[in-house]
Amino acid sequence: MNIPLLYLDTSAWLKLYMEENGSEAVHAAVEQAEQTCTHLIAYAELRAALTTTL
Protein backbone atom coordinates (compact mmCIF):
# COMPACT_ATOMS: atom_id res chain seq x y z
CA MET A 1 0.00 0.00 0.00
CA ASN A 2 1.46 3.36 -1.02
CA ILE A 3 1.02 6.37 1.20
CA PRO A 4 0.41 9.45 -1.00
CA LEU A 5 1.64 12.00 1.56
CA LEU A 6 3.25 11.24 4.92
CA TYR A 7 3.53 13.97 7.55
CA LEU A 8 6.47 13.53 9.94
CA ASP A 9 6.83 15.48 13.16
CA THR A 10 10.20 16.11 14.79
CA SER A 11 10.16 12.91 16.83
CA ALA A 12 9.55 10.86 13.68
CA TRP A 13 12.44 12.57 11.86
CA LEU A 14 14.70 11.77 14.83
CA LYS A 15 13.79 8.10 14.47
CA LEU A 16 15.23 8.21 10.95
CA TYR A 17 18.61 9.41 12.23
CA MET A 18 18.81 7.69 15.62
CA GLU A 19 17.88 4.15 16.62
CA GLU A 20 14.90 4.47 18.98
CA ASN A 21 11.69 2.59 19.73
CA GLY A 22 9.59 2.90 16.61
CA SER A 23 12.48 3.60 14.23
CA GLU A 24 11.70 0.54 12.12
CA ALA A 25 8.06 1.59 11.75
CA VAL A 26 9.04 5.10 10.64
CA HIS A 27 11.56 3.73 8.12
CA ALA A 28 8.88 1.40 6.74
CA ALA A 29 6.33 4.20 6.44
CA VAL A 30 8.82 6.46 4.65
CA GLU A 31 9.63 3.64 2.23
CA GLN A 32 5.92 3.39 1.35
CA ALA A 33 5.37 7.15 1.06
CA GLU A 34 5.27 8.88 -2.28
CA GLN A 35 6.10 12.19 -0.55
CA THR A 36 6.97 13.31 2.96
CA CYS A 37 6.28 16.66 4.55
CA THR A 38 6.69 18.43 7.86
CA HIS A 39 6.09 21.75 9.52
CA LEU A 40 8.74 24.42 9.08
CA ILE A 41 9.54 24.46 12.81
CA ALA A 42 10.57 20.79 12.61
CA TYR A 43 13.81 21.72 10.86
CA ALA A 44 14.92 23.91 13.78
CA GLU A 45 13.73 21.37 16.34
CA LEU A 46 15.50 18.52 14.57
CA ARG A 47 18.75 20.43 14.29
CA ALA A 48 18.63 21.34 17.99
CA ALA A 49 17.86 17.76 18.99
CA LEU A 50 20.65 16.31 16.87
CA THR A 51 23.13 18.90 18.11
CA THR A 52 22.45 18.07 21.75
CA THR A 53 22.43 14.28 21.31
CA LEU A 54 25.35 13.75 18.94
pLDDT tens for residues 10-41? 999 999 999 999 999 999 999 999 999 999 99
Distance CA 41, CA 45 (A): 6
pLDDT score of 1 = 72
Domain extent, residue 20, equals 5-53
Dihedral, CA of residue 36, residue 18, residue 50 and residue 12, to nearest 10: 30
DSSP 34: S
Question: What is the H or E stretch that residue 48 is in?
Answer: helix 41-53
Total domains in the chain come to 1
Distance CA 45, CA 5 (A): 21
Q: Which residues pair with 6 in a beta bridge?
A: 36
pLDDT score of 52 = 87
Q: Which residues pair with 33 in a beta bridge?
A: 3
